[in-house]
A and B are shown apart, each in its own frame.
Chain A
């Protein structure tokens, strides 16, 4: 174990509140009475559903194929009956609904056939496809499918394994590292092999000495693994922040780690990868920290799709709980509906009371103290972002790199004016994305409308030309047959006469059987 060789700018030191759960060993959550498995990941298209309502499914059976290249499969977390496939509230701040498979467990926990994946003889594509079919996505919060991070064609030299867990209150990664260090490192080795990375660097905040020790012991004899302790400072576990701390590589605005030869995975993801490869088990459960104003804070291994209310009940919330946060207090969101199911990226549930999370005092105008700029780990100027978002000056925000903001909340935490800065950034990002989408839709509609107008005009012209050509042809035929062209409307009259003649001929032809057009074949 060694201290991280580099550092990142900004950051804050909030109270960590981890003592509540860091000694709570991971225990399996009891099987819930019903599950609502989301059939899509955060903000993406729902997958292609491969089960029907009324069907019996086995534990680990595939429910939905990924809808597009950006998706990963979803699986039944236990055996039971699919009651319905219908919209259900999702664990999102906006309380929006999404397609979920409503499963009533039969309590038998009967597995679908599954077998270890033979990594050594498989091709790179086959291995990535297996990860996709196992539903492996980033468990750190972004829920980004892992097979895409491994298959984007960049040459990776270093794999950064993220065990920093810098958000206050959360201890699920810490517990996993203390209890499953060997499996995590096995997963990391698989990921490194698939990425072609020669080196694995593990980053863990120095307030988790037991996890550091466990990972150090488990990595003994693995020459390509180095474990680093990172000074406890939020957001040390931000992807770009951890990469900078461990490798010194500062990833510029709008770029990603792979473009600089580094790829970052969360320890929970590595653990899920090891399960998927060595046991053939898809991602159907995860570790969740249950904490806040509760009588029994805990770390549980819960099935994806378990209703949030069921999980929270395990921890026995106090009576003064006012809201529930999914994720940490810095980047998490308050859930409007506790019927929503646990998503794959759901690392922590916090029962929040006014005593633990005092309401934010009323904001006052920005005094341009620049405290926010000093705290920003992304080297942004939060007060400028705030100013332009507040004024809805969206064109200016790009210049101040709004989309580089990781919404870590460090700026709002230090702001003496108590401004809800991150709310403004989220508002502006959503508004800009919506504008973009509408502009693209309008452009496409305009194009299709113009193409259709052009096509209709051309068809009309062609039709007119065809008619004219035919008229000319008939006329010249009649001229050849020697019909005398009259003066004035002679052309027209001739045409009409010809048409009448043609119709009569047709009628006659219809009355007499048509002559054979071909000689019958000789025997």
Chain B
């Protein structure tokens, strides 16, 4: 009798919890691929295409599906590769290409020369250029990611990249510790 009751309790508990788990999976279903989202959260969103993919999200998908290495994003720099390696449990690799971290730049349009052709607006992946046909165009500096995609379409070559004045954060303290037995 006892054993029947015990079995019954356990079986019904299992059924109940299993059902709850199934329900939870339905209710709390995550939209999209969470791995892609997490990789995309690490990428710098410069949207420059230097990785060979049309934008950061596409590169994130490629990494998630194992179609791409993790060291292809120059704007993310070494720190970016490291973060990706940590997230994915892969080996750290130096950046592909010449591998140097570049200082951040933003685009600037020379007002004297711009003919208002709107080609740069169409090229900018993050809508950082304001202007209309036949009017002076201007880069909104806060929005520009420095991807350089607007430079080559410009027929009068009036877009130049300018260095952003370097922020000078407080440095990590470096000093020699006193030797215990000195």
List the interface of chain A (C-beta within 8 A of B): 93-97, 361-365, 392, 420, 423-424, 426-427, 429-431, 433-434, 438, 441-446, 448-453
- Interface contacts (Cβ under 8 Å), in number, total 72
Which residue on chain B has the smallest CB distance to residue A438?
B44
Checking B55, B127, B145, B178 against A363 with a beta-carbon cut-off of 8 angstroms, the contacting residue is B178
Q: Taking the complex as formed, is B9 at the interface, i.e. its CB lies under 8 A from any CB of chain A?
A: no
A446 engages B168 (CB within 8 Å): no
Checking B46, B55, B127, B173 against A420 with a beta-carbon cut-off of 8 angstroms, the contacting residue is B173
Say whether, besides A420-B173, A446-B45, A452 and B168 are in contact (CB < 8 Å).
Answer: no
A358 to chain B minimum Cβ distance, whole angstroms, is 15
Q: Taking the complex as formed, is B34 at the interface, i.e. its CB lies under 8 A from any CB of chain A?
A: no
Q: Taking the complex as formed, is B171 at the interface, i.e. its CB lies under 8 A from any CB of chain A?
A: yes
A452 engages B125 (CB within 8 Å): yes
Checking B55, B167, B168, B170 against A449 with a beta-carbon cut-off of 8 angstroms, the contacting residue is B55
B175 engages A445 (CB within 8 Å): no
List the interface of chain B (C-beta within 8 A of A): 40, 43-47, 55-57, 125-128, 143, 145, 165, 167-173, 175-178, 180
Q: Please indicate the chain A residues that have their CB under 8 angstroms from the CB of B173 in the complex.
A: 420, 423-424, 427
Q: Please indicate the chain B residues that have their CB under 8 angstroms from the CB of A423 in the complex.
A: 170, 173
Q: Ordered nearest first, which 9 A-B pairs have the shortest CB separation?
A: A430-B169, A94-B168, A426-B170, A445-B45, A442-B45, A362-B178, A423-B173, A364-B178, A448-B126
Say whether, besides A362-B177, A452-B126, A452-B127, A446 and B40 are in contact (CB < 8 Å).
Answer: yes
20 extra A-B contacts, CB within 8 A, seeds A448-B126, A449-B125: A94-B168, A94-B170, A97-B165, A361-B178, A362-B177, A362-B178, A363-B175, A363-B177, A420-B173, A420-B175, A426-B170, A434-B169, A441-B145, A442-B45, A445-B126, A445-B143, A450-B57, A451-B127, A452-B126, A452-B127
Q: Please indicate the chain B residues that have their CB under 8 angstroms from the CB of A453 in the complex.
A: 55
**Between-chain CB contacts (< 8 Å), 27 pairs:** A93-B170, A94-B168, A363-B175, A364-B178, A392-B172, A420-B173, A420-B175, A423-B173, A426-B170, A427-B173, A429-B170, A431-B169, A441-B45, A442-B43, A442-B44, A443-B45, A445-B145, A446-B40, A446-B45, A446-B56, A448-B127, A449-B47, A449-B126, A450-B57, A452-B125, A452-B127, A453-B55
Docked pose: A426 CA to B126 CA in angstroms: 33
Docked pose: A426 CA to B172 CA in angstroms: 9
Docked pose: A362 CA to B176 CA in angstroms: 7
Docked pose: A95 CA to B167 CA in angstroms: 11
Which residue on chain A has the smallest CB distance to residue B127?
A448
A449 engages B45 (CB within 8 Å): yes
Which residue on chain A has the smallest CB distance to residue B169?
A430
Q: Please indicate the chain A residues that have their CB under 8 angstroms from the CB of B44 in the complex.
A: 438, 442
A409 to chain B minimum Cβ distance, whole angstroms, is 14
Which residue on chain B has the smallest CB distance to residue A439?
B41
B46 engages A445 (CB within 8 Å): yes
Docked pose: A157 CA to B46 CA in angstroms: 50
A434 engages B167 (CB within 8 Å): yes
Q: Please indicate the chain B residues that have their CB under 8 angstroms from the CB of A363 in the complex.
A: 175, 177-178
Which residue on chain A has the smallest CB distance to residue B144?
A445
Q: Please indicate the chain A residues that have their CB under 8 angstroms from the CB of B145 in the complex.
A: 441, 445
Q: Please indicate the chain B residues that have their CB under 8 angstroms from the CB of A427 in the complex.
A: 169-173
Docked pose: A441 CA to B169 CA in angstroms: 18
Q: Please indicate the chain A residues that have their CB under 8 angstroms from the CB of B55 in the complex.
A: 449, 453
Docked pose: A361 CA to B128 CA in angstroms: 51
Q: Please indicate the chain B residues that have their CB under 8 angstroms from the CB of A364 in the complex.
A: 177-178, 180
A96 engages B168 (CB within 8 Å): yes
B15 to chain A minimum Cβ distance, whole angstroms, is 40
A287 to chain B minimum Cβ distance, whole angstroms, is 29
Q: Please indicate the chain A residues that have their CB under 8 angstroms from the CB of B47 in the complex.
A: 445, 449
Docked pose: A271 CA to B41 CA in angstroms: 50
Say whether, besides A442-B44, A448-B143, A449-B55, A365 and B169 are in contact (CB < 8 Å).
Answer: no
Question: Which of the listed residues B40, B126, B180 has the most CB atoms from chain A within 10 Å of its own CB?
Answer: B126
Q: Please indicate the chain A residues that have their CB under 8 angstroms from the CB of B125 in the complex.
A: 449, 452
A309 to chain B minimum Cβ distance, whole angstroms, is 22
Docked pose: A492 CA to B56 CA in angstroms: 41
Docked pose: A77 CA to B125 CA in angstroms: 47
Q: Please indicate the chain A residues that have their CB under 8 angstroms from the CB of B175 in the complex.
A: 362-363, 420
Docked pose: A448 CA to B143 CA in angstroms: 9
Which residue on chain B has the smallest CB distance to residue A87?
B165
Which residue on chain A has the smallest CB distance to residue B40?
A446
Q: Please indicate the chain B residues that have their CB under 8 angstroms from the CB of A420 in the complex.
A: 173, 175
Docked pose: A501 CA to B118 CA in angstroms: 34
Q: Please indicate the chain B residues that have their CB under 8 angstroms from the CB of A444 in the complex.
A: 143
Q: Please indicate the chain A residues that have their CB under 8 angstroms from the CB of B46 in the complex.
A: 445
Docked pose: A430 CA to B166 CA in angstroms: 14
Docked pose: A61 CA to B134 CA in angstroms: 40
Docked pose: A443 CA to B143 CA in angstroms: 11
Docked pose: A362 CA to B44 CA in angstroms: 39
Docked pose: A94 CA to B169 CA in angstroms: 8
Which residue on chain A has the smallest CB distance to residue B47?
A449
Question: Which of the listed residues B43, B45, B167 has the most CB atoms from chain A within 10 Å of its own CB?
Answer: B45
Docked pose: A453 CA to B56 CA in angstroms: 12
B58 to chain A minimum Cβ distance, whole angstroms, is 10
Which residue on chain B has the smallest CB distance to residue A93?
B170
Which residue on chain A has the smallest CB distance to residue B54?
A453
A138 to chain B minimum Cβ distance, whole angstroms, is 22
A232 to chain B minimum Cβ distance, whole angstroms, is 30
Docked pose: A430 CA to B170 CA in angstroms: 6
A17 to chain B minimum Cβ distance, whole angstroms, is 26
Docked pose: A362 CA to B45 CA in angstroms: 43
Docked pose: A95 CA to B177 CA in angstroms: 27
Which residue on chain B has the smallest CB distance to residue A94?
B168
Docked pose: A442 CA to B48 CA in angstroms: 13
Which residue on chain A has the smallest CB distance to residue B170?
A426
Docked pose: A431 CA to B79 CA in angstroms: 14
Docked pose: A122 CA to B128 CA in angstroms: 43
Docked pose: A451 CA to B128 CA in angstroms: 13
Docked pose: A97 CA to B165 CA in angstroms: 9
B41 to chain A minimum Cβ distance, whole angstroms, is 8
Which residue on chain A has the smallest CB distance to residue B182?
A362
Docked pose: A238 CA to B105 CA in angstroms: 40
Which residue on chain B has the smallest CB distance to residue A361?
B178
